[in-house]
Structure 1
Amino acid sequence: MAVYWWPSSMVSLLEKWMRNFIWTGDVDTLKAIIVKWDKVYKPKEEGGLGIRRLRDVNLALLAKQSWNIKHGSSRMSDFLKARHLGVDKWLGDLSIKEQLNPEESFFSDFNLKVAVVISNFSFPLVSSLFMQNVFTTAESINLPQCEVEDRCMWSCTSSGVFSSASAWNEIRRRNPKVHWYSLIWKAHLQPRQALFGWRVVNGKLPTDDLIKLKGVFLPSQCSLSQSAKESIFHIFLQCSFSMEIWKNFLKCFGVSWNSHASVLDLAIWWKRKQRGLAAKEPWLAGFVLILDNIWKERNDKRYEQRMRSPSLVFKLVKSDLQEVDINLSRLAI
């Protein structure tokens, strides 16, 4: 797997199976309302699920193989590599051969070895301005005073040792870090709960408004308050049923409820608000647990015709906090 270029058709098929399995648990079943793959494959700190794009992994593994051939000491690497002054990229991104102007004639043979050019750490006199700059740069390199083996260092790790992970991190497309990821992935949550919270923040739940965008037109009504059309914004941020749960939770921390333009906006506010709180763990975990219980209550009401009061759902949130071993002794819950 680490020594050849993976066929594009194979990569596409495997990533299709990965997408289907994430959303349905079956590689052959497609789900209509999902988060775009471009968001899924990003690291969690950048708003994704931490899944790596297969082509990037393929390139990182090939880079490791190339590094081992170039800088390894095995018989195979000795057979394949040829380290020469003119063709090695030891002064930057380009070799001397690639940087040298066509009219420069210092090297008649670019297979010239370093030992031939350097004699007792003294460079020869040359008229070429380019080669003078090369020699000046080489002389500025600090060499160790003790007897150690000269080796190439990988600049993307602090140890100088090549790793596939560091190569992947350089290859992949970088994105800004999101402020809310610790609410989802560092809040003592079960994986199912964390994944659900991630979907809500990304606005991808099968609510009536999103189902309508897929061409399915059905009568829409909030199952909790039965007072408006259903949307993610209404269920979690406008519904009177949900508002009572949010306010009861915030009351335990002495925090007042503010209106928010979206669940993402609420997540950013929630993360910022925890800085001034003594009981940070229950506050952080409570964000997703409230969302999760509101959604479960919505499904019970819509599909099971079972309805609990907001106060009872709030007790379920407290029970979930205790199940993940969060200490509630500091709170008035």
Structure 2
Amino acid sequence: MDKKIDNFLEVKNLKKHFDVGGKKRLKAVDGVTFSIRRGETLGLVGESGCGKSTTGRTILGLYEATDGSIVLNGRDVTSLNKKEKKELTKDMQMIFQDPYASLNPRMTVSDIISEGLDIHKVGDRKSQMEKVNELLTLVGLNKEHGSRFPHEFSGGQRQRIGIARALAINPEFIICDEPISALDVSIQAQVVNLLIKLQKKLKLTYLFIAHDLSMVKHISDRIGVMYLGKLVEVTTSENLFKHCLHPYTKALLSAIPIADPDYEDKKTSIELEGELPSPIDPPSGCAFRTRCKYVMDICKEVEPKLIQCGEDHRCACHLLEKIKKGGK
């Protein structure tokens, strides 16, 4: 990668709030800012309900952003009209979590994969079928699979069909919304390795959303950690596992199981006290303060900002701000 940083996607102060009755609003995503460089993979991790998938769906346009900007390859996605948004789907696609629920059971595999080509009027039927066969081979399936229906495949095979569908109109950016969580453990590595192979071959850019930190480490160049709709830490994959700074990130990493039983017995897991707060009524100040053992008075009043804590490392924690100022 060149020294000059080429940000393919820039998300600034992104918010997605849902009305839940009365004057209450569910703040699923609440002021998220990050960028993804061309050709890299940014992993997005955090507990269930932290806003990872909502972030991805808002970027794609499945949800309309409440506030903030999304700039993809120099174009502000949030300011486009309906026709322009349709054209934009050529540049970005999504691989969904449940490959069975996201595939139409009444359509053959060929029709599912070629649907995007039909919508965008790409080629005639003959060239579309040639493209479908090419994609089936690319994702590790056979051309004969095109005449079958989704229920005739295993979970891993269905996810390969979902990947082929996402690639049909040659997008540059793909949002992988927990693409392996619904699969058997034995199949997860195969799908992730396929995504890595395709990224190198087709020069793709990924936002990879997942729970499994070990798998996220394997595929991601950088990782963002979300908590209650906010980013609390962003750094390189290697640095996150060696030098993470946020107390929440440390707790997540301590929960990763280790294959060696002797080491697993000796390691210390960080147990978070209390329940995850509701995004309808989040705590004042730092959202993590109700579960943090390092909580200070300032945490109850002031929301911490993502500050630079090293090269390509940002973290939002008042404890780090205090240390950075020399303990004052």
Tell me the TM-score range normalised by the shorter chain: under 0.3
Normalized per residue, the structure richer in helix is: 1
Normalized per residue, the structure richer in strand is: 2
Larger Rg: 1
